[in-house]
Amino acid sequence: MSKLTVGLIVVVAGAGGAAIYLQQQSIARLRGEMTLLHAENVQLAKQQQAVVAAKARETAATAATPAGAGATRADAGEIAQLREEVDGLKKTAQEFGKIIQAAQVKAAEAAIPTQLVPVAQWKNGGRDTAATAIETVLWAATGGDVDVLSQGLAFTPTARTKADAWFAQLSDATKAQYGSPEKLIALMIAKDAAAVSGMQILGQKEVTPDDVGMRVRIGAENGKTKDDTFFLHRSGNGWQLLLPDQAVEKFAKQLAGGK
């Protein structure tokens, strides 16, 4: 598969309900710990802010007296240090927030039972909806239908420029054989999809009326699953899998003999 992921979680299939339960319990404990740490840091930041404010008032009052000039300079340095500490605490609190959000996503996905649709049941459902488009792309990839797969691919504007430039540098024979970057990339995607055994759509989120992010669980023949995020764009050709710069760079590297 093309590995166009925003993020992924690898789990071992077949572990049954006990494994899912244990994973949920672990995530719940993590979320609890992170929430407590986040709350502690927020409270500490507030306390430090109060100290900074009080110190600033004290410095202002000291500066009003002739004898307070030397002390004012020392206090100003202390205030600067305190403010730096507060900024650091705020940053830490933000990081905890990100970790909590990530844990929430994992918990939500872990709660979804794994119900993969086997490759044999996939079909070419067209591209009228994002859901049918992603199934059609995967159906074509696993079945080696390069024509259908290439029609289901699109590039971001910058990726389009890179793809055209890369394709233009290839030999005349290669360009004549494939005709477009889409067909050549479709062939490479189909090669990578050989080990796929099933898929499950976990959900989708609208980015714009013509752009969605779709979370899909992919099953492999080795018994493992991977949750990937695919982005699809709707144009006059229906919904298509959107390939970013990184995808073009990856395939260009692969064709050149890299990994």
What does the pLDDT look like over 63-114, one tens digit per residue?
555 555 555 566 667 777 777 766 766 666 566 555 555 555 555 555 678 8
* Cβ–Cβ under 8 Å, residues 130 and 211: no
173 & 241 share domain: yes
173 & 146 share domain: yes
Q: What is the mean pLDDT of the chain?
A: 77
End of a domain among 110, 138, 170? 110
The 10 Å Cβ neighbour count of residue 110 is 20
End of a domain among 110, 131, 160? 110
What is the tens place of the pLDDT at every residue in 6-57? 222 222 222 333 334 334 444 455 555 556 655 655 666 677 677 767 766 7
248 & 129 share domain: yes
Q: How far is CA 18 from CA 10, 85, 106, 120, in A?
A: 17, 44, 17, 29
Domain assignment present for residue 242? The answer is yes
The 10 Å Cβ neighbour count of residue 64 is 9
Report how many domains make up the chain: 2
Q: Which two tokens stand for residue 229?
A: 């995020």
163-188 as b/e: b if 16+ CB within 10 A:
beebbeebeeeeeeebeebbbbbbbb
Domain assignment present for residue 4? The answer is no
What residue numbers bound the domain in which 99 lies?
A: 14-110
d(CA 164, CA 169): 9
End of a domain among 110, 125, 156? 110
